[in-house]
Amino acid sequence: MKDLYKVAFENARDAIFWADASTGRIINCNKAAEKLLGRKRNEIIGMHQTDVHPPKMKEYYARMFRRHIRKRKVIDEEAEVITKSGEIRIVHISASVFLINKKKVIQGIFRDVTEKKKIAEKLERALKTKEEIIEKSPFGIYIVNEKGIVEYVNPAMLRICGAPYKKFIGLNILKLSTYKKINLSKKIKEGLKGKSFKIGPIKYTSHLGRKTTIRNFIGIPIEENGKRKLIMIIEDITELKESEKRIRSALQTLKASNLSMLKTIEKLKKTKEFFERILNTIKLPIVVLDKNLDVKLCNKSFEETIGHCEIVGKSILKFAPNLRKFLKKIRRKLNFEAKLGKKSIKWRGRVFKENKEKYIVLIGE
C-alpha cells in the first residue's frame, strides 16, 4: 500500500509540495512540482514555501501559509508561483494539514490554471466587445426568450420604436396586435423553433411609441443554457426609402420622354425656383452660364466641387480661370476635361437660347 501511495504521489498530474508547518521549509515534492517550477527536486527541497511565489508578494503568501495551518481543513485558493526562469504562473492551491511521525506537515496541491485563465480573459474580452458592438449598433436589436418575452433591448431599438426601456423590457411580443397584423408573431414562433427569417421592407407603426417607420425584420435563433431564444434585428430604412423616392422622382423628371439629361434640361421650366429644387437633388455638379460666362444658376454639388458658395451673378472665371480656353468659342455642344478646384472633371455642355439670350449648361461627370 505504501508503494502504491508513492507511485500515486510521484505521478500525480498536479504539483504536490509538502512543507514543515513549523519552519515553512519544503520537505518533499513530486515530478509535476519540478515541471511547474522548472527546478530539480534537490533545488526545491529545502526552499522556504514563500520562495516559490513572486518576491514582492512574500509577506502575503506567508500569511496565507499561516492561515492554512490555523484552519486545519482543506482550503482552496488562487495564487501565483514563479519559475526558475522568472515566469509567473497562476495556480489553484488545495491545502491540507496532516501529521507525519508526529510532525505537522502542510500539503499543497498546485494545479496550473495559467492557460485556462488566459482563455477565460480572452473570452471575457470577446464577450465585452460583443456587448459593446450590440450596444452601439445602428440596427435595433432585442432578444426574446422561448415564451416571447423581451430579455434585452439595445438603445437603437428604443430610438426606432420611440419607447422607453421600461416599456420594452419584459414585453411579450407574441401578444402584440401590430405584430399579428403583419404575420410577425407567427414568424417569431417559428424562429423560436430554430427557423431564421426576414420580413420587409414593411411600413410599421410601433405599438409602444406609435412611431411609423419602414423596417426590415430579421430573426436569428440561438440557444443559451439549453434554452431556445431569438435575436431580432430591426433595420430602419425609412430615410433610405424616402431618398430613393426623391431620386426616382428627380430621375423621372430628368428622363421624361426617354430623352438624355441635356435635352431634358433644355425642356425644363425656366423658373429659378424650379431649377434650384430639381438641380439640388442631382449629385452631379451642374452650372448655367450666360454669354458673358456669369453664373446664372448652379446646384449645391457644383458649389461643393469648387469650394465656394453664393456664386450666382459672378463670373465662372473667377473660380475656374482655366475654363476660359474651353468656353472662349461658344459651340452648340461642348465636351472637355478641365480641373475645377482640386479635381479634374469631365464636362459636357450644351448651348440653348431663351428669349433670344444664349446660355451654356455644363454638367460634370
Residue 99, CA distances (Å) to 1, 68, 133 in order: 18, 14, 56
- Give the residue from 195, 358, 348 showing the smallest Cα distance to 286: 348
Say if residue 279 is exposed, middle or buried (CB neighbours under 10 Å; 0-12, 13-18, 19+). buried
137-236 and 242-364: identical CATH topology: yes
Contact 50, 61 (CB under 8 A): yes
> Cell numbers of 33, please?
512540482
Q: Which residues pair with 236 in a beta bridge?
A: 215
Which residues, given as ranges, of the chain have pLDDT below 50? Answer: 268
16: cell is 504536490
As a whole number of angstroms, the distance between CA 117 and CA 89 comes to 10
The CATH number given to 2-115 is 3.30.450.20
Task: Write out the three cell numbers for 215.
Answer: 423596417
Q: How far apart are the first and last CA of the chain?
A: 93
Q: Which CATH architecture has domain 242-364?
A: 2-Layer Sandwich (3.30)
Angstrom distance (rounded) from CA 337 to CA 330: 16
Q: Do β-strands 227-236 and 212-224 pair in parallel, antiparallel, or remain unpaired?
A: antiparallel
pLDDT tens figures, 105-146? 988 999 999 888 888 787 777 667 667 777 888 888 989 999
Fold (topology level) of 137-236? Beta-Lactamase (3.30.450)
Distances (CA, A) of 238 to 91, 99, 158, 232: 56, 78, 16, 18
Report the C-alpha gap between 302 and 314 in whole angstroms. Answer: 14
Determine the pLDDT at residue 85. Answer: 93
Rg from Cα positions in the chain: 39
Torsion of CA 194, 197, 203, 205, to 10 degrees: 10
Q: Which pLDDT score, from 0 to 100, does residue 261 have?
A: 55
| Residue spans per domain, the chain | 2-115, 137-236, 242-364
Q: Look-up: residue for cell 454639388?
A: 301
